[in-house]
Structure 1
């Protein structure tokens, strides 16, 4: 910005000196005005860069984000209909995080209150599918609770 202004002042002074040297005094005012207008237009363009409205997202960007969301949702539904090991590995940590964020309960602060709130919110049956301490370490290949249980858990989290 300082460089632009310094160059502008030099341009105006240079044009005035050139007009005086060439004895074209009748063009002095017009030449200085044109030089000043060029400098002011460049200053305006320089200052206006940060004020331009952000370009709207391309439709491809919006479509890509929608496709990613849809793929994530489909994967989550597949995990809910899969085995207990998949539920424990993928869905239980996500649901436990959402439970902690929604209720503000932290297992590290008060484990008894954490579990009591979970049982009150979800009921004993659904809490067992959200409880982060109920993970089987044996890689259980029995079926998970299914899509209906996931839907019910998410519905209860939204109601808080």
Structure 2
């Protein structure tokens, strides 16, 4: 729609410039009126048809959304099967945010309650992989917990 309006304004300006180059000035108003009528009719046609022009297809159609979700999910699963460094950079922050949202516990509000409820919900072994304060800078190449632990964490988050 924006593109059509911009092109319409450009068309009107170009028509007026061309009409000004002609010796007979009475064509200026007529040519600008015709160009404006074409632009307005095009806008009315687009608004009246409830469809977007082929060049302006909505990028958020269901198929595209599904493809983006699938690509994000595949990447997340790959990170779960990767090293501890990938887990710490990508999955731990995401899981900690989802834990905060699901339980209502905030680390900044009450750190002791945050950690206690995390250990109680996930158990000490899984909580070590969610705890946002358990990041190691030196163990980047150590293996992560794997896909099974990731699935178990997600399963427990769904039950909350």
1:69 aligns with 2:41: no
Structure 2 residue aligned with 1:24:
none
Question: Which structure 2 segments of 5+ residues have no match?
Answer: 1-43
Q: Distance in 1 between matches of 2:93 and 2:137?
A: 14
Aligned CA distance change for structure 1 residues 54 and 126 (closer, same or farther; 3 Å): farther
Alignment: residue pair count:
111
Structure 2 residue aligned with 1:84:
84
Q: Secondary structure at the match of 1:137?
A: coil
Q: Secondary structure at the match of 2:134?
A: coil
Deviations 1:44-70 (A, max 9, x none): xx9xx7xx9899x97982111111000
Q: Distance in 1 between matches of 2:136 and 2:88?
A: 7
Deviations 1:18-75 (A, max 9, x none): xxxxxxxxxxxxxxxxxxxxxxxxxxxx9xx7xx9899x9798211111100000000
Structure 2 residue aligned with 1:3:
none
Question: Which structure 1 segments of 5+ residues have no match?
Answer: 1-45
Shift of 1:88: 0.1
Q: Distance in 2 between matches of 1:138 and 1:61?
A: 43
- TM-score, normalization by structure 2: 0.63
- TM-score, normalization by structure 1: 0.63
The structure whose Rg is larger is: 1
1:146 aligns with 2:149: no
Aligned CA distance change for structure 1 residues 53 and 121 (closer, same or farther; 3 Å): farther
Aligned CA distance change for structure 1 residues 54 and 92 (closer, same or farther; 3 Å): farther
Q: Secondary structure at the match of 1:144?
A: coil
Aligned CA distance change for structure 1 residues 59 and 114 (closer, same or farther; 3 Å): closer
Q: CA RMSD in A?
A: 2.5
Q: Distance in 1 between matches of 2:144 and 2:59?
A: 38
